[in-house]
């Protein structure tokens, strides 16, 4: 679609009421209105990446140039959002040694990440905990509670046990009230942070009814919002449908994990929905064509449900294709990226709920130990890097047209106000009324 055609379409949508311009304070926080993200009153679209390793790497001052290089390469490709971990529980080089006991060196690493993102104009989504054992996860929380006398039979007791929930809430509070040692800004007051994430891919297989996860998200969302009303919040969901929409369950890739895309995202305090997409993992025995067909249906349905049922924005918060699976080709990876990006752009240009995508994962040179098959190194020219940059440009054009339209609306209002003043003065002979 040409820029002229896109501009004309947006003009029509604006006049039809699909978009509403509101002048807001330019405080730099991302907010939502209906199915849109807004930045300083204008629609905002997130083309970005995952980089879980940022805090871990930045905790070693000698490795911080890698963090800077990642942000620099991302910004040069038009990327605007990074999702990363604000947790590392127990184990090697933790952020949290034990409940309430923190490693200042690791926290300074996270401080550096936030400060560096700020300098490159990149917003952050920070996740509070992990469902999996990597970097501690819910298993570490449960083990901490066991070591202090709690009888817990399952790692899923993370979602149920009051003591464990108390540990987790304390971590949230510690992060939100943290003063950044580089900027002096408390995390809860820093617009560099776009959103908080309750957990990376929460799962509770011991309760497929979904009631456990539902109650946990409701409790934790309320807790976060009681401290921080500045930032958006999302749950970290992969997008699996649950009991509230049995007609949708056939779309799931054969997994029953105790989450419910519709019910979980309807919870007050959850500001936008997320969906992950890994057809190469979820349908590993299927060919590329079947995986791509699944991806198309998966994204179409979630975007429609965000638009029509949830009435909230949606991010495709993780997607990728690994070279470790048999039959991998760069062409197939580019096809997957283009499919995801096309769904986002098609929705965005029509005023829909799809607000961006974050690929998994961004690395930079000299990080061979972090290769997981999904890595993208933007410093190495590739067709995939070009696909990523093209999407950033397309979303930027939509935002730029919106900014122009908002300026036109402001000009019209200012002209109307001037006309009213002239009329008022003319009706009174140009004389003041009163003393």
Per the CB < 8 A criterion, the answer to whether 86 and 129 are in contact is: no
Catalytic residue among 73, 116, 197, 201: 201
Q: Which residues contact 121 (CB under 8 A, 6 or more apart)?
A: 75, 80
**C-beta of residue 34 within 8 angstroms of C-beta of residue 311:** yes
Distance from C-alpha of 313 to C-alpha of 35, rounded to nearest angstrom: 4
Distance CA 254, CA 214 (A): 21
Select which of 116, 197, 238, 318 is catalytic. 318
CA atoms within 13 A on the CB side of 27: 12
- Assess contact for 78 and 122: CB atoms under 8 A: no
> Hey, which residues does 143 pair with through a beta bridge?
none
Q: Which of 58, 127, 57 is nearest to 87 (CA)?
A: 127
The DSSP code for 89 is: B
Active site (annotated) includes residue 201 = yes
Can 73 be counted among the known catalytic residues?
no
Distance of alpha carbon 140 from alpha carbon 260, whole angstroms: 25
Number of Cβ within a 10 Å radius of residue 415: 10
SS3 of 93, please?
Answer: coil
Q: In 3D, which of 224, 303, 299 has the Cα closest to residue 267?
A: 224
Residues forming the active site: 201, 318
């Amino acid at each position: 679609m040409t820029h002229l055609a896109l501009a004309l379409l947006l003009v029509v949508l604006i006049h039809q009421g699909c978009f509403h311009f509101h002048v807001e304070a330019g405080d730099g926080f991302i907010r939502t209105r209906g199915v849109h993200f807004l930045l300083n009153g204008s629609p905002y679209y997130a083309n970005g990446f995952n980089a879980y390793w940022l805090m871990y790497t930045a905790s070693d001052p000698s490795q911080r140039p890698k963090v800077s290089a990642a942000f620099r390469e991302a910004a040069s490709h038009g990327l605007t959002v990074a999702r990363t971990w604000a947790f590392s529980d127990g184990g090697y080089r933790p952020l949290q040694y034990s409940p309430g006991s923190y490693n200042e060196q690791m926290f300074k690493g996270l401080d550096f990440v936030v400060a560096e993102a700020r300098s490159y104009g990149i917003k952050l989504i920070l996740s509070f905990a992990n469902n999996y054992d990597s970097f501690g996860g819910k298993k570490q929380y449960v083990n901490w509670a066991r070591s202090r006398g709690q009888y817990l039979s399952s790692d899923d007791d993370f979602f149920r046990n009051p003591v464990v929930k108390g540990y987790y809430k304390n971590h949230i509070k510690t992060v939100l009230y943290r003063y950044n040692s580089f900027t002096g800004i408390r995390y809860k007051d820093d617009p560099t942070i776009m959103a908080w994430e309750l957990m990376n891919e929460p799962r509770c297989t011991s309760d497929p009814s979904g009631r456990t996860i539902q109650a946990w998200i409701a409790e934790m969302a309320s807790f976060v919002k009681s401290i921080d009303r500045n930032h958006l919040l999302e749950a970290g969901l992969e997008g699996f449908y649950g009991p509230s929409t049995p007609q949708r369950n056939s779309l799931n890739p054969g997994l029953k994990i105790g989450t419910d895309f519709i019910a979980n995202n309807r919870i007050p305090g959850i500001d936008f929905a997320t969906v992950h997409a890994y057809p190469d993992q979820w349908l590993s025995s299927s060919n590329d064509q079947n995986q791509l067909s699944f991806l198309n249906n998966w994204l179409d349905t979630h975007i429609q449900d965000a638009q029509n049922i949830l009435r909230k924005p949606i991010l495709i918060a993780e997607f990728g294709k690994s070279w470790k699976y048999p039959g991998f080709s760069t062409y197939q990876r580019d096809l997957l990226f283009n499919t995801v990006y096309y769904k986002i752009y098609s929705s965005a240009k029509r005023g829909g709920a799809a607000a961006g995508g974050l690929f998994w994962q961004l690395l930079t040179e000299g990080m061979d130990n972090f290769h997981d098959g999904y890595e993208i190194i933007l410093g190495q020219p590739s067709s995939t890097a070009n696909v990523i940059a093209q999407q950033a440009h397309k979303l930027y054009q939509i935002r730029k047209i919106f900014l122009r339209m908002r300026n036109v609306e402001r000009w019209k209002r200012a002209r109307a106000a001037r006309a009213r003043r002239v009329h008022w003065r003319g009706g009174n002979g140009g004389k003041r009324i009163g003393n």
